Amino acid sequence: MIKEVKVEENKQNGLFLVEVEVEPAGDVGVKERLRTPDIKRYLKKLDYKIGEVVQRNSLTNDSPPYKATWIFEKLGKKNLDKPVKTVVSSRRAKKVKKPSSVQKDDA
């Protein structure tokens, strides 16, 4: 069913671009479908170290187009920048009550 698989590694962002082409089923051929888990298994058999899926796809051999593209993260990609945390101060300035002046009774 699979006619051709092209795997390109983008070293700048640590991604694998996987293009898959299948042969058409024809009039008497068996109709089949490729999904993301099938492509992951195929790449692991070829010893590619793939991680999370960035772009999912599915491909059938019964109707054109007979090509599809998947994008996977490269396994072991390290993020060198730490995520920025937002800090919100929970302390508020306390208002100090001034002692009220004592009123004298005019009696």
Sign of the dihedral defined by the CA atoms of residues 75, 35, 54, 52, in that order: negative
Q: How high is the pLDDT of residue 40?
A: 94
Instruction: Render pLDDT for 27-44 as a digit per residue (tens, 0 to 9).
Output: 767 889 999 999 999 999
Separation CA 41–CA 57 (nearest Å): 15
**Cα gap 8→16, rounded to integer Å:** 6
Instruction: Give pLDDT, residue 72.
Output: 95
The model carries a pTM of 0.66
Residue type, 75: L
